[in-house]
Amino acid sequence: MRNRSVLYFLLGLYTAIISWYYYHSIILLIIHWVFWPISLLYFLLTGHLAHGQWLSIPKHFFN
């Protein structure tokens, strides 16, 4: 059960990073953090994570 909670936290954090990268808004970051499954699906379906963006966005923050 603990592994699920860590994964849940990391995916929520990943969604918050993507939100900040595209919108630079604290309010949207909090909304995307709380509703991360819906937000992550939205980012996937709209192409925000296409063409290697899924990997380059976190690199942008942690380099």
Closest CA to 55 of 63, 33, 37: 63
3-state SS, residue 63? coil
Residue 45, φ and ψ in degrees, nearest 5: -75, -25
Tens of pLDDT, residue by residue, the chain (63 residues): 667 889 999 999 999 999 999 999 999 999 999 999 999 999 999 999 999 999 999 999 888
pTM of the model: 0.86
Q: Give the DSSP letter of residue 1.
A: -
